Amino acid sequence: MNSYYFYFFILLAGLVIISSCTPSEETTKKEEVYIFDEVPVENTITPPTTGEYPTLEESYYVVQIGAFTTQDRAESFADMSRKKLLNEVSISYSDKVNLYVVQIVPFYKSRPEAEIVRDNIRQIPDFSDVWIITVNK
């Protein structure tokens, strides 16, 4: 009879251990979203809707967040980026690198402003390899 109590005790202890290891509430992952600081309009450049870079006398800076071999992959990444960054992005095909590039809009007249945006975006895990393109230098 004592062996039954022993097995019952072991079974009961096992159930207590198992039930204490499982979470009692559903946990959810909270996404961090960066909302860009306002950059004065006079310090930005809006790209043409054709996807080409504007032709200007001075250099300007583009924050690029991705480059893809197919337009479908670029569009999928751009859609995800718009949701996470809450900012407009553009997709264009670059003949120089033969890739579809995904870039933050607007472009910046000042490299330090572009660097601030780049550095803030890099803190978000999906965007750790963001870089800056210098145009018309």
Higher pLDDT, 16 or 45: 45
Specify the 3-state DSSP secondary structure of 100: strand
pLDDT digits (tens, 9 = 90+) for 43-85: 777 776 656 677 778 899 999 999 999 999 999 999 999 999 9
Contact predicate 60/73, CB 8 Å: no
Higher pLDDT, 55 or 108: 108
- Span 85-93, mean pLDDT? 90
Residue 96 lies in a domain: yes
pLDDT digits (tens, 9 = 90+) for 18-41: 555 555 454 444 455 444 555 666
86 confidence band (pLDDT: 50, 70, 90):
confident
Residue 2 lies in a domain: no
CATH code at 53?
3.30.70.1070
Residue 10 lies in a domain: no
Average pLDDT score over the chain: 79
**Domain tally for the chain?**
1
Q: How many CB atoms lie within 10 A of CB 53?
A: 18
Domain around 64: 41-135
Residue 16 lies in a domain: no
What is the gyration radius of the CA atoms in the chain, in angstroms? 26
